[in-house]
Amino acid sequence: MVEFCYAWPIEMTCPSCGLENPPSAQYCDCGYEFVPGGKPKDWTPAQQFERPALFTLKHLVRCWAIGVVTVLVIVALSSVVPSVFWIFIFPLWILPAIAGLGDGDHVYPLMLLGGSLFYGGVSFLILGLVHVAGT
C-alpha cells in the first residue's frame, strides 16, 4: 500500500454548500456534519447576507437623480470657469443633436434630459462596479 505525505493540511470541501473547511472541522458553517454529532446542541447556522439586486427601480431612479444633479453642477461650473468645464457640456447636446434641433431656449429641457441620462448611466456603471466588487 502506498501512502502519500502532504506538507500542508488538506481542506475538506463541504458536499452540501461547497465551502472549504479546515481538516479538523467537525461541521460546516452551513450545518453539514463531517463527524455525526459534532455540532454543539445550541448551534445555529450563520446568517447569509444577500446583496440587494442591482437593477431595481429605486437604483435606476437614484442614478438618474445623480445625473440630474451632475448636469446642474456642470452647467453652473461651466458658466463660472468655461475653460475648464467645457468638455463636460458635450453629453448635454446628445438628444438635441439626435433630434436635429439647433441652439435656442427650446433645447434646454432636452439637454437636461440627455445629460442626466448620460451622467446617470455613468453613475450606474460606477455603482455597478462597486456592487460587483463588494460580492
β-sheet bridge partners, residue 20 = 13
- Cα four-point dihedral sign 52, 56, 62, 68: positive
Give the total number of structural domains in the chain: 2
Q: Which of 6-10, 48-52, 94-98 has the lowest mean pLDDT?
A: 6-10
Among the listed residues 26, 21, 1, the one whose alpha carbon sits nearest the alpha carbon of residue 10:
21
Predicted local confidence at residue 69, as pLDDT: 93
pTM for this entry: 0.54
- Are 65 and 25 found together in one domain? no
Question: What are the pLDDT digits (tens) for 29-84?
Answer: 888 888 888 788 787 776 665 656 667 788 888 899 999 999 999 888 888 888 88
**CA 11 – CA 42 distance, rounded (Å):** 25
Does residue 67 sit in the same domain as residue 42? Answer: no
Query: Would you give the DSSP letter of residue 40?
Result: -
Q: Where does the pLDDT of residue 134 fall: very low under 50, low under 70, confident under 90, or very high at 90 and above? A: low
Does residue 2 sit within a domain?
A: no
Q: CB within 8 A of 20, min separation 6: which ones?
A: 11, 12, 13, 14
128 and 65 within one domain: yes
* Pair 13, 30 in one domain: yes
Task: Say if residue 119's pLDDT is above 80.
Answer: yes
Q: Are 72 and 41 contained in the same domain?
A: no
